[in-house]
Structure 1
Amino acid sequence: MASHRRPKQTSRTRVTVLTATAAAAVALSAQAAQAAPAKQSVKSVKAKVDALYEQAEQATEKLNSATEKQQRLQQQVEVIQDEVAREQGELNDLQDDLGALASAQYRSGGIDPTLQLFLSADPDSYLDKASTLEALSTRQAEGLRQIAEKKRSLDQRKAEAAGKLSELGRTRAELGKKKKQVQGRLAEAQRLLNSLTAAQRAAVAAADAPAAGGSEHVDLGNATPASGRAAAALAAAETRINMPYVFSHSGPTSFDCSGLTMWAYAQADVRLPRTSQDQANAGTRLSMSQLQPGDLVLFYGDLHHIGLYAGNGMVLHAPHSGAVVRYESINNMPFQFGVRV
């Protein structure tokens, strides 16, 4: 018969020792993991944050484009609606005139013209009246023609208004999506930064700072702007140095990249489009060697970033969320071409 002995229990002391040993091993491995690439971790986080900022700026320019389209459509809808109201009023007036004419004819009695002539005591007077009736009839026909034409025009304008309103609705929906994309990228970047210690966040900020070239004591050389408006735009932008980057803002105290260039040139009485891609077509394209202070400079293959050439290889721009308007070396970003407005 098999024996039913109880297994021997491990002593409490042994369990305690084993637990302590395991805990120490886990702690040591965690410390080793943390200690190993603390520097690399900061570098990795910065690279991810920079990528997210770039994606946010790409989305911001699309947001700006959708916003501009919305504003344009809104203006078009308002113009068409005003025209519809005016044409409806004109149609109502025409219909009222025709109704008054029909009422007058009805009150005169619908007697056959030949019988009216036979019964008339004054045939000459009747003939005058008959010519008046013929003129009234012609006027009635013309009134009907005008009403039909006005109604066709009104129907076309109403259909156009309906189409623009539908397009406006789609644009507003697109606008909401683009805004969420920007906010999502920025929130993700902030989460990454929040995962770092205060010292690591300071290291990320320090790694970004040298690229700026500082806001003061920057050597811009002695090149002269190509025009008075370029000089005025650059001078205006320089008054915005150290003001914050805020997506979809175009001044006067916060900016995104194309918002800064648009605002700066507006101070020189030049109206630029809202987005960097549209501003890229606002003048004559230039190579890097042709740049003069105040020229626009475009970066990245999709032209989602823009700034002002400041001279001596430096750009004045609004870089990205969390940064301020500042000077930076033109070589820190993939230059595409310049534009002389």
Structure 2
Amino acid sequence: MGSHRRLAPTSGFNQGAGAALCVLSAAAAALGGVPANAAPHEDTRAEVDRLYTEAEKATEAYNKADESAGRLRRQVGDAQDRIARQQERINTMRDKLGSLAGAQYRSGGIDPALALLFSDNPADYLDKASVLDRITAHDAGELQDLQSAMRDLAQERAEAVGKLAELEKSRKAVAIHKKAVERKLAKARRLLNSLPYAERAAYARASRAGGIPDLGSALPSSARAAAAIAAARSALGRPYVWGANGPSGFDCSGLMQWAYGRAGMQLPRTSEEQRYAGRQVPLSEARPGDLVTYHSDASHVAMYMGNGQVIHAPYPGAPVRYDPVDMMPVSSVTRV
């Protein structure tokens, strides 16, 4: 990752879909606080930044896989409930058909012509026969209903089996992404620990930096945006936690989802999806509460706060804070 210089926003918005990720918005700011004689360790710091960036890619991939697994778990649960209800219905229909079949056998066990011939009361026999005919017709309809219900049950079971297979694959994907995050973060920590104390301290100071800037007088685009801004401000100083969406810790997309959730709107989980959660506007027209994504693959997401400032969850070790909107190339601005 390069230095934290102000880069001009990209003109136009790249619509390519990529794995949504949070990028270290201010990690390289530490370089400004490092003594000039620290040049031999530039490569180490650059590698730490790169690992944090890759860890955030894996974090957003983890978020996406975890969301998919959750959705599949709910679908499997719903399917199992439907199967149980359908099975109960089939059992009831079978019991009813069994009773009807028994009644017909007991009442109609001889040839109808002989039964009429030997009957003491032919009129009574004919009445009974008429009832049995109606029962038989009703029985046929019940049997068709039972057959249809059993076909539906078989289809439900087949679909449930498919969902369970998808769920298992999704669980494995979650585990893979989780391991990737942990591996990259562990390597980044080892590299940081290899730096001289003064450089580690400078990096830590840069990670904690960020007071409350002048946000100007621009108004939010809506009452909902105003509520989301208030929620995001209340999260200032809370730690970055990968895969978290509050309230005690956040990753970048988790902070946006939590803030707008407090405003009564459910945003998608990943920054890639959040890019398309509303109407895109030019950066020059950004208003407080708008979502700002960075790089062509929606590599990071923040909330515009006014006067060229955003609030965001930067990267591991850096708490929720303000930073300039042009800290990285802007990909899109979305008005939710």
Q: Which of the five TM-score ranges fits, normalised by the shorter chain?
A: 0.7 to 0.9
Q: Aligned partners of 2:325 and 2:188: how far apart in 1?
A: 24
Which residue is equivalent to 1:257? Answer: 252
Q: Which SS does the other structure have where 2:302 is aligned?
A: strand
Q: Say whether residues 1:215 and 2:211 are aligned partners.
A: yes
Q: Aligned partners of 1:224 and 1:108: how far apart in 2?
A: 84
Q: Aligned partners of 2:222 and 2:207: how far apart in 1?
A: 33
The one-character-per-residue Cα deviations of 1:244-268 (angstroms, maximum 9, x if unpaired) are: 0000111111000011011111111
Structure 2: any 5+ residue segments left out of the alignment? 1-35
Equivalent residues, number? 301
- Cα deviation, residue 109, structure 1: 5.3
**Residue identity opposite 1:149 in structure 2:** S
Question: What TM-score does the superposition give when structure 1 sets the normalisation length?
Answer: 0.85
Q: Aligned partners of 1:237 and 1:196: how far apart in 2?
A: 33
- Cα deviation, residue 236, structure 1: 1.1
**Does structure 1 conserve the Cα–Cα contact (< 8 Å) formed by 2:207 and 2:318?**
no
- Cα deviation, residue 327, structure 1: 0.5
Q: Aligned partners of 1:259 and 1:168: how far apart in 2?
A: 23
- Cα deviation, residue 114, structure 1: 0.6
Which residue is equivalent to 1:96? Answer: 95
What are the within-5 Å matches in structure 2 for residues 285-304 of structure 1? 285-304=280-299
Which residue is equivalent to 1:243? Answer: 238
Q: Say whether residues 1:232 and 2:227 are aligned partners.
A: yes
What are the within-5 Å matches in structure 2 for residues 1-341 of structure 1? 39-108=38-107, 110-206=109-205, 208=207, 214-216=210-212, 218-341=213-336
Distance verdict in 2 for CA 1:38–1:184, change over 3 Å: farther
Greater Rg by CA: 1
**Residue identity opposite 2:78 in structure 1:** V
- Cα deviation, residue 75, structure 1: 0.8
- Cα deviation, residue 105, structure 1: 2.2
- Give aligned-pair identity as a percent: 48
CA RMSD of aligned residues (A): 1.4
- Cα deviation, residue 136, structure 1: 1.5
**Does structure 2 conserve the Cα–Cα contact (< 8 Å) formed by 1:42 and 1:204?**
no
**Does structure 2 conserve the Cα–Cα contact (< 8 Å) formed by 1:277 and 1:303?**
yes
**Does structure 1 conserve the Cα–Cα contact (< 8 Å) formed by 2:79 and 2:156?**
yes
Q: Which SS does the other structure have where 2:170 is aligned?
A: helix
- Cα deviation, residue 301, structure 1: 1.7
Q: Aligned partners of 1:303 and 1:321: how far apart in 2?
A: 18
Structure 1: any 5+ residue segments left out of the alignment? 1-36
- Cα deviation, residue 226, structure 1: 1.2
